[in-house]
Structure 1
Amino acid sequence: MIADTIDRYYAPALIGKDPFNVKQIWDELRFGPMHWIGRSGITHMALAAVDIALWDIMSKAAGKPLWQYLGGHKPDKIKAYNTNGGWLNWSKDQLIKDITGILEQGFTAVKMKVGKPDPREDFDRVQAVRRAIGDEVGLMIDVNQQWNITTAMTWGKKLEQFDLIWLEEPLNPDDISGHRKLADELNVPIALGEHVYNKYAFRDYITQGAVEYVQVDVTRVAGITEWLQIAGLAAAHDLPVCPHVGDMGQIHQHLVAATPNAIMLEYIPWIKHIFEEPINVVNGFYTLPQQPGASTTIIPRYFNEYRVR
């Protein structure tokens, strides 16, 4: 559906355009015919793909990796936290084995899933992980929207004792007032953004004090152009940005490296094999790409294999 939206509506509008007028193009596409169909979801993600491609073209033309083209802030490396483990369907023993194995790779922060039908089981699993990894390792938990406000308030309070970096997506992402109540009452910071699709929704979350770690995803908002606006909005409120990696980190590594208030980046080593310059994490840190562009170039044989026809 995303590819179809690009082919039918966005691609024809790009013919003859100068990619260096990316913001003008963004406005024209944003308020074009698809504006009447949807201002989030598929149409927004299709616009994100186009916008990312334009920034890739510009940085390649400039002969710079995107993070440098945007104005580098972290020119050496960026901290990673590992999400490739801690899965909800694993036994407690497998969970602990996996997370301790991640730490042996050099990571100093990990995230695990919660949201079991009985929150007491979540509590037991978090407690077991904290005991296994010690007090010095950063630990986040991700609810994936599985709780209601009562469950989140009750069990969020109980889980505070485990010194969590954040509590992620505890509620439905459209429930700004519920997240504000949690942010007011809990001593665990609220993180979200994976399912927030535009700068206006982020504005409302931020100005109402309903989010404390901004997880804006460049593939969910309308590309790099809008991502930078949201990161700037977060900076104006002294909030850190820690993106959700819907792109598996290929583009976000550039954005975090170029953004002062972006403090670290999620790591999920999926689909690395398809890219000419895949993400690279060594001892818990991303090493920055050096090739011009946004690290989105796909190896031709994989492009042919996975392309939408």
Structure 2
Amino acid sequence: MEHVQGLLSSSRAALAPGDEGAVITSIETYALAVPLAQTLNDATTRLTAWTVPVVEIRTADGRVGTGISGVHNGAELLTQVIDNYYAPALLGAASEDILGTWKRLYWRPTHWIGRAGVVHMALAMVDIALWDLAAQRAGVPLWRLLGGTAGDIETYNTDGGWLNLSVAELERDLSSLVDQGWRRVKVKVGKDNWREDAARVRAARQAVGPDVTLMCDANMRWDFSTAARLLPVLEEVGMDWFEEPVHADDIQSHQRLQAATTLDIAAGESLYSYQAFANFIAADALRVIQVDVTRVGGVTEWLQVAKHAAANGLRVVPHAGDMMQVHQHLAGTFLSETPPLLEFIPWTQNAFVHRTVVRNGYAQRPQEPGASTAIAPAARKQWQIKGTGSTSTPS
């Protein structure tokens, strides 16, 4: 206790009066490998589990803020960035100084090797944890702290259109989702032979009928000529959007595709900064902005991207690297003429203390204080990856 009091004294200059309890006293990282019910493929990846890297930031008042990410692999890289580079700058600091902390961590020397990717995703984990603490301290769910709308939010389901499914399985799974209440579903494309993709999207439309909204996602696997060749087929079946048709950094090809079609081009899960999104928006290369809180720098940068996109009349539909846990708070927290929409993938529901609640395709707003990121103890015991993560305390 004396050590904590000393820490408080050394930090008071950076704290508002009465906020001594907000001092960060320890940081713990670990990761979970949550198994999937079945093996799934998109155009780039074969998945048997979804990995959830975690950071828990404890403060002097006994609160714990939890930040998460979502990756195919490499969770140890994210935890190492936090343990080795961010934790020394966080211990003894004020957890309530969220924007100041974001800037301090962003401009540490790691900036020069990671303005995107692992380093930036580690920053997102810390930022989410700090916002979780802020909402807990306010005694409200994060969406309420951010001034969000209280109504239920429509979701679209990605968990029935995977690329390793046969056409018959694809039709069955999509039909099942519609029977469960979803009015928006997504199908994966990106086969080696584009004619197979054409057949799949036609079968998908036949399965769901004319009144269900259908999207497709190529996961960057096509070049411009292949994507352009498929546009007439996608228009024929009435696709709502065409997601990640080409490499994520190829602004020009996205721009040319958007100019060539009445469909909306969508992307964002592979963009890591406000500046990257701003460049795509300025080029009129996207109409659906799929900003992911675990890929950009957390809640702080997500809000900046979302507000900029909405101000330009674009749809903001987050990619669910977090499996919707944080995004269910963020959707509907900015002015937009289009209703909020969330991507639903149920893989990690059992990992969290507070599961998302979706009925008839609509997500109900969480009511518990925080960002819905706290990890269930039983999940940690069952799925924690050995040898990943550590605990940092003042020396």
1:176 to 227, 243, 251: 251
Q: Which of 173, 195, 201 is equivalent to 1:126?
A: 201
- The C-alpha deviation readout for 1:242-286, integer Å capped at 9, x for no partner, is 000000000000000323436200000011101010111100000
Q: In structure 2, what is the Cα distance between the partners aligned to 1:118 and 1:149? A: 15
Query: Which residues in structure 2 correspond to 1:66-85 (within 5 Å)?
Result: 66-73=142-149, 75-85=150-160
Q: Which residue of 2 aligns with 1:37?
A: 113
Give, in whole Å, the separation in 1 of the partners of 2:319 and 2:273. 14
Percent identical among aligned pairs is 46
What is the CA–CA distance in structure 1 between the aligned matches of 2:334 and 2:174, rounded to whole Å? 29
**1:147-162 map, 5 Å:** 147-162=222-237
* Residue 279 (structure 2) pairs with residue 204 (structure 1): yes
Look up the equivalent residue of 1:221 and give its one-letter code: V
Instruction: Output one character per residue of 1:146-203: Cα deviation in whole Å (capped at 9) or x when no partner.
Output: 1100011111123211111100000000100110000001121100001001011100
Which residue number in structure 1 is paired with residue 312 of structure 2?
A: 237
Contact 1:153 / 1:186 at 8 angstroms: preserved in 2?
no
**Residue 60 of structure 2 corresponds to residue 19 of structure 1:** no
The letter for the 1-side match of 2:136 is K
Q: Which has the higher strand share?
A: 2
Counterpart Cα distance in 1 of 2:322 and 2:176 = 24
Cα contact 2:218–2:244 (8 A) shared by 1: yes
The residue that corresponds to 2:384 in the other structure is: 306
What is the CA deviation profile of residues 58-88 of structure 1, one whole-angstrom value per residue up to 9, with x for unaligned ones?
A: 0000000000000022x02000000011111
Matches within 5 A, 1:64-103: 64-73=140-149, 75-103=150-178
Partner of 2:366: 289
TM-score by length of 1: 0.97
Q: Does 1:54 align with 2:54?
A: no
CA drift of 1:37 comes to 1.6
The answer on 1:163 being equivalent to 2:241 is no
Does the 8 Å contact 2:148/2:330 carry over to 1?
no
Once the two structures are superposed, residues 217-240 of structure 1 have per-residue CA deviations (whole angstroms, 9 ceiling, x without a partner) of 000001000000000110120111
- RMSD value over aligned CA atoms? 1.1
Check if 1:248 corresponds to 2:323: yes
* Secondary structure of 1:81's aligned partner: strand
Going by fraction, where is helix more abundant, 1 or 2? 1
SS of 1:20's equivalent in the other structure is coil
After TM superposition, the structure 1 stretch with the greater mean CA deviation from structure 2, 166-175 or 152-161, is 152-161
Deviation at 1:302, TM superposition (A): 2.2
Counterpart Cα distance in 1 of 2:302 and 2:290: 10
* Contact 2:82–2:122, Cα closer than 8 Å, also in 1: yes
d(CA) in 2 for partners of 1:283 and 1:302? 27
8 A Cα contact 1:248 1:270, kept in partner: yes
Per-residue deviation, 1:117: 1.1
- The AA in structure 1 aligned to 2:254 is H
The answer (yes or no) to whether the contact 2:124–2:293 under 8 Å persists in 1 is yes
Consecutive unaligned residues of structure 2, counting only runs of 5 or more, are: 1-76, 390-395
Deviations 1:43-72 (A, max 9, x none): 000000000000000000000000000002
SS class of match (2:216):
strand
Residue 132 of structure 1 deviates from its aligned partner by 2.0
SS of match in other structure, 2:210 = coil
Moved more, 14-23 or 211-220: 14-23
Q: Tell me the distance in 1 between the aligned counterparts of 2:310 and 2:263.
A: 20
Instruction: Tell whether 2:355 aligns with 1:278.
Output: yes
Matched length: 308
8 Å CA contact retained: 1:77, 1:257: no
Output the CA distance in 2 between the equivalents of 1:302 and 1:128: 38
**Alignment partner of 1:269: what SS?**
coil
Find the residue that maps to 1:277 and give its secondary structure. Answer: coil
Unaligned 5+ segments in structure 1 are: none
Give the residue type in structure 1 aligned to 2:188: K
